[in-house]
Every structure is written in structure tokens, then in C-alpha cells.
Amino acid sequence: MSEANSQATSTVLESGHQSYIQNYGNASLVIDRGEGCRLWDMNGKEYIDLGTGISVTNFGHRHPEMEKALQEQMGKVWHTSNLYYLETPIRLAEQLIASSFGERVFFCNSGAEANEAAIKLARKFASATRAPENRTILTFEGSFHGRTLATVTATAQPKYQEGFEPLPAGFRHCEFNNVAALEAAFDDSVCAVLLEPVQGEGGVNPAHPGFLKRIRELCDANDALLMVDEVQCGMGRSGHLWAHEIDGIKPDVMTLAKALGNGLPIGALVAGPKAADVLQPGSHGSTFGGNPLSCAVALTALRLAKDDDTLDNVARQGHTITSYLEGLDRELSLFKEIRGRGLMLGAELNDEYAGEAGAIGKHCTEHGLLLLQAGPSVVRFLPPLVIDEATVATAMDRFEKAIRAWLAERATS
């Protein structure tokens, strides 16, 4: 690392610290470029990216087919608003419908906006037959649905809500994967259920077999909507194109974002037959929703996500990483549980090391590996879906070295 590069990094870090509102706990790392499964900082240090920008760059950085699609669209038009039709967003909507249970699609800019649209759709759906007090939306403890005021209320984690009271009314929280608690919470006032088939920020918790089916039965019996948030777990990450497919159910609404644009901002709400015609002209909108640049990239991302080779690779590499973590655990006794689906994996630290996922992450960064947390005690692995065996082997070697460095530091502190 040259002195000039070091000084440039320090200058950028200081400027960022002074310029940004301090709502993020940024690492002291300035990313300069990326390619495939790797990133480089301003000092030229290489990192294997097993976080993918929180399940966003699922097909790697600067994917050549996506770059080509983006460049072609840039040469046509960037924005017109939703006052007019554009071919590229329409083609994307067609492909989303053809690949799912859906009949109609609404485009926005992010996962929070997609979930906000789902919440509004659910309330509008219920308004035809229910009084306002009977338009409750049921969500689950450990969930994460976004940072807007409504979606943070739907997110049943108090740490995200504290200080933002008064929160909007009309939400009820229930224990995840507890059928008895679900049945007790589901009464005539519930107009919709919103959940992640695999919880992400809450600790990488998959729905237990049969749980989604029971929710589907209750929604059908009570004329309520089943809405799945696949912002993080969708687009092939679970080993299926859509994570709810694992349980063999069809929701009424699905929300998407993150990997749909592989780094460009886009969100989508996919509505099935029961919900397709709820939102009428004037009821909702988004200035940048369906931006043709994002949609051009998303068309390629969706095609790659549903490719059998991609899904086979997700299953294969997910098994490889899990096996490696299990082997490391047998030697070092690190984890309480290793769980997840496909390439959405969480390793929960045992009681001795509870709360130290952040410390492990820092050591991983030092060893050229970018990982995430899912709470203070869960190390989260969200590799690119196109990661190959050699890159997995290198990444796991770096992870082991980081773990051993962390344990050595603990032993001497």
C-alpha cells in the first residue's frame, strides 16, 4: 500500500464522516471497484464478497451481460415517468408474471417501498368489506420489512422502532414458526399476513415445514391476503426462484427488490388474482418506479436467477459452505446452529461467544473477506449465486484464518 493511496483513503473517510448523517456504522473501508465475486479498496487490497451488498449483487459485480443491457438502454431513454408506457418495464413485468403466481406488477425503487405498497394494497383490499378497526396486518417477531414508518412498525423488532413513536396502528406481531401462537393471533380483524419465508435480518430463520401452508389456510378461511416479502430471500437465493415455493404455496402478493436490479435500485410488488385489481388509478404511485435502466438490468438478473445451472450451483455451493462450517465447528465448538436455505446461511454463535459476530466480521475484513451479521450473534453468508468451487475454497480458508485470529485475540485480552 503506497503512502499516496493511504492518504487518499484517509481523506475520503474523513470527508464521509463529516458529510454523511451518522446513521450507519460504516467500516473504515473505501471500495474502489468490483468484478465478479471480488471487490478492491482504494489501497488495492482484494476482498471476496460474501455479503453481496446484503443480497443485492447476486450475480457478481459488473456482470458483462448486465453491462451490455444497461449500455443499450442508456442509449435510448433514461426516464419518462409513469404517464407513458415503456417497453423495457413491460417486458420485465411480463417475465415476473410468467415466472410466478402473479397477474399484475407494480414497480418502485426499493424493498421498503414494495412492502409499503403491499401494506397499502392490503388496507385498500379490506376497505371494501371491513371497518378500519378490522384491517389488522399480522407480522412476525424477528422480521424485517424496511425503514419507513409503516414498514418499521411491521418489522417486529423493537430495536428498529425505539424513538420513532407514535407508530402507525393496525399491526399485530406473532411468534415466528409457532402454529399455536399464529392461530391465537389470527382473528376476524386480520386482513393480511406479511412475512419473509426466510427471515434475513432476524437471524436467517427459515419457515418451518407446514408453517406457510397453515397461514395460507387461515387466510383463505378469513378472506385475508397472504403477502410474502422475498426482498432478501427471493431471486434464486434459497435454491428456488422464489423461497415460498419450497413450501408449495401460492401467496396473493410478493414483494421484491435487492437482487432484482443486481445493484441498480428497483423494487416490485407482484399481485396474484385476489389482489391484482385492488390498486386503481390515483391510489398509489412512484416517480421513478419502473425506471428503464434498472428494468433492463433486471431482465437479465431474472433470466439468470431462474436458470437451472444457477439454482443447481446455489444448492451445491450452499452445501459446501455448510459442510465446511460444520467441520470447523467440530474442531472449535463455535456455533449453536447453522441454518438457512441455499446460499442464505446463518451461523449462530454458541453462548460462550454470543454477541461477537461483529468482532468476527472485522477479522474477516482484515483477511480479505466481506461478511455480514444478522443480529449480534449470527454470522451471515450471502455469497453471489454464481460463486464457483475455487472461490468458495479460498473464501473458507480466509474465514478459518480470521476465526483463529479472533480466538487468539480473545485468549490474550
Q: What is the CATH number of domain 3-62+308-412?
A: 3.90.1150.10
pLDDT of residue 338: 98
pLDDT the model gives residue 27: 74
Per the prediction, the chain carries an average pLDDT of 96
Equal fold, 3-62+308-412 vs 77-305 = no
Confidence (pLDDT) at 2: 65
pLDDT digits (tens, 9 = 90+) for 252-308: 999 999 999 999 999 999 999 999 999 999 999 999 999 999 999 999 999 999 999
The domain 77-305 is placed in CATH, from the list 3.30.470.20, 3.40.50.1390, 3.40.640.10, 3.30.230.10, at 3.40.640.10
User: How many CA atoms lie less than 13 Å away from 8 in the CB half-sphere?
Assistant: 12
- pLDDT for 6 equals 80
Residues of the chain with pLDDT under 70: 1-2
DSSP letter for each residue of 370-410:
E-EESSTTEEEE---TT--HHHHHHHHHHHHHHHHHHHHHH
Q: Return all residues near 299 (Cβ < 8 A) that are at least 6 apart.
A: 69, 88, 91, 92, 95
Count other C-beta atoms under 10 Å from residue 64's C-beta: 11
Give the domain ranges of the chain.
Answer: 3-62+308-412, 77-305
- pTM passes above 0.85: yes
246 CB-near residues (< 8 Å, 6+ apart): 197, 206, 238, 239, 240, 341
